[in-house]
Structure 1
Amino acid sequence: MFKQVAEALLSGHFICPTAYPDAFEYLSQASNADKINAFLKLLDRELFDLDGELFYAAYTVVDDSNRPAIREAFSEVRSQLRPVVEWMDMVMTALGQDMPIRARDEIRLHQLLQALEHEPSLAEQLNRLTQLTLFKTSKTSVHDQLLWVLQKLEQTGYLARPNQQASMYIATGKINYLHQVIAFLNDAENLELDQHATGGSGGEQQELFL
C-alpha cells in the first residue's frame, strides 16, 4: 500500500475517504503517515491533513525545477473556481440548503433534477453553467445538462459515485480543499499583496499552497 499511496500523492491526487477509502484508512494510521511523510520530505514535499477529511502532498521548496509544475497545478484549480462555486450555489438554492457543500455531502440526481425542472431560474442557471469551459456542452435538456455537469465534477475529483449503478454522488475532500483555496485567495486580495513590493513572496506563497 505504501507504493500506491506515495505514487497517488506525487501524482497530485487528493486522498479522502470517499474517493480513496483504502488509501485514506492507510494514512489515518499515524505510523503509516509518518513513513509517507518521511519519503515525501526527501522530494521537498510534505503530507498535509486537511480537517481530517483529506490528505495531499504540498511542496515545501519552490525552485526552478518545480515552479512550472506548481504554477500549472494552481492555474488548473483557479480555472475551476468559478464553475464549481457557481454549481455549489445552484445546488444550495435548489435544495434549500444554508451551508455550502462539504466533503461527504450527498447529491442525489433525481432530487436535484426535480428542483431544477420546476424552477425556470435554476434551469437557466444550469444552462449558463454549461457555457463555462469546465462544463461546456451542446446538450440542451435539463436532464442531460445536469448529468453532464455531475459527470465532469466526478472526472475532476470533486464528486465520487461509490455505486456506479446508482444516481447518488458524494462530495469528496477536494471540495474542502477548494474552500481553502477560496479563503486563501480572499485573504490575499484583502491584504492587497504586491509581488513587486514583497520581492515575489506573495507568488511563492501561492505556489507553496499546493
Structure 2
Amino acid sequence: MFKQVVEALLNGQFICPTAFPDAFEYLSHATNADKINTFLKPLDRELLNLDGELFYAAYTVVDDSNRAAIRDAFSEVRSQLRPVVEWMDMVMTALGQDMPIRARDEIRLHQLLQAIEHEPSLSEQLNRLTQLTLFKTNRPGLNEQLAWVLQKLEQAGYLVRPNPQASVYIATGKINYLHGLIAFLNDAESLDLDQHAAGNNDGEQQELFL
C-alpha cells in the first residue's frame, strides 16, 4: 500500500474515504502517515490532512525544478473554480439546502433533475453551466446536460459513483479542498474570478495553491 499511496500523492491525487477508501484508511494510521511524510520531505513535499476528510501532498519549496508543475496545477484549479462553484450554487437552490456540498454528500441525478425541470431559472442556470469550458456541451435536453455535468465532475475528481449502474454520486474530499481554497483566497484578497481567469499575472498566485 505504501507504494500505491506515494504514487497517488505525487500524481496530485486527493485521497479521501470516498474516492480512495483503502489509501485513506492506510494514511489514517499515524505511523503510516509519518512514513509517507518522511519519504516526501526530500522531494520538497509534505503530507497535509484537511478537515480529517482529505490527504494530499503539498510543495514546501518553490524553485525552478517544480515551478512549471505548480503553474500547471494552479491553472487547472483556476479553470475549475468558477464552474464548480456555480454548480454548487445551483444544487443548493434546487435542493433547498442552506449549506454548500461537502465531502460524503449524496447527489441523486433524478432528484436534482426533477427540481431543475420544475424551475425555469434553474433550467437557465444549467444551460449557462454547459457554456463554461469545464462543462461545455451542445446537448439540448436537461437530462443530457445534467448527466454530462455530473460526468465531468466525476472525471475531475469532485464526485464518485459507487455503483456505475446507478445515478447516485458522492462528493469527494476534493470538494472540501475547493472550499478551503476559496476561504484562503477570500482572506488573502478580494477575488474577482473573471479577472483571474483572464489575467496572466500568475506567478505569486500559483504558490498560494500548493
**Distance between the aligned counterparts of 2:166 and 2:30, measured in 1?**
34
Amino acid at match of 2:134: L
Aligned to 1:145: 145
CA offset at residue 190 of structure 1?
Answer: 4.3
* Structure 1 pair 67–108 and aligned structure 2 pair: CA distance change class (3 A): same
Amino acid at match of 1:147: A
Contact residue 14 and residue 173 of structure 2 kept, 8 A: yes
The farther-off stretch of 66-75 and 134-143 is 66-75
2:48 aligns to what SS in structure 1?
Answer: strand
Alpha-carbon deviations, 1:76-98, whole Å to 9, x = none?
10110100000000000000000
Alpha-carbon deviations, 1:139-182, whole Å to 9, x = none?
01000000000000000000011111111000000000001111
| Matching of residue 87 in structure 1 with residue 82 in structure 2 | no
CA offset at residue 207 of structure 1?
Answer: 1.3
Contact residue 58 and residue 208 of structure 1 kept, 8 A: no
Aligned counterparts, 1:93-112, within 5 A: 93-112=93-112
Contact residue 54 and residue 173 of structure 1 kept, 8 A: yes
Aligned to 1:167: 167
| Structure 2 gap ranges (5+) | 192-201
**Distance between the aligned counterparts of 2:164 and 2:26, measured in 1?**
24
CA offset at residue 75 of structure 1?
Answer: 1.4
How many pairs align?
A: 200
CA offset at residue 68 of structure 1?
Answer: 1.1
Contact residue 62 and residue 204 of structure 1 kept, 8 A: no
| Structure 1 gap ranges (5+) | 192-201
CA offset at residue 209 of structure 1?
Answer: 3.3
* Structure 1 pair 61–131 and aligned structure 2 pair: CA distance change class (3 A): same
1:49 aligns to what SS in structure 2?
Answer: strand
* Structure 1 pair 89–208 and aligned structure 2 pair: CA distance change class (3 A): closer
**Moved beyond 3 Å, runs of 4+:** 202-206
What TM-score comes out, normalization by structure 2 length? 0.92
Contact residue 70 and residue 206 of structure 2 kept, 8 A: no
* Structure 1 pair 205–130 and aligned structure 2 pair: CA distance change class (3 A): closer
What TM-score comes out, normalization by structure 1 length? 0.92
Aligned to 2:195: none
CA offset at residue 132 of structure 1?
Answer: 0.2
**Distance between the aligned counterparts of 1:137 and 1:208, measured in 2?**
32
Contact residue 61 and residue 208 of structure 1 kept, 8 A: no
1:56 aligns to what SS in structure 2?
Answer: strand
Amino acid at match of 2:71: R
Identity %: 85
2:169 aligns to what SS in structure 1?
Answer: strand
Amino acid at match of 1:164: P
Amino acid at match of 1:85: V
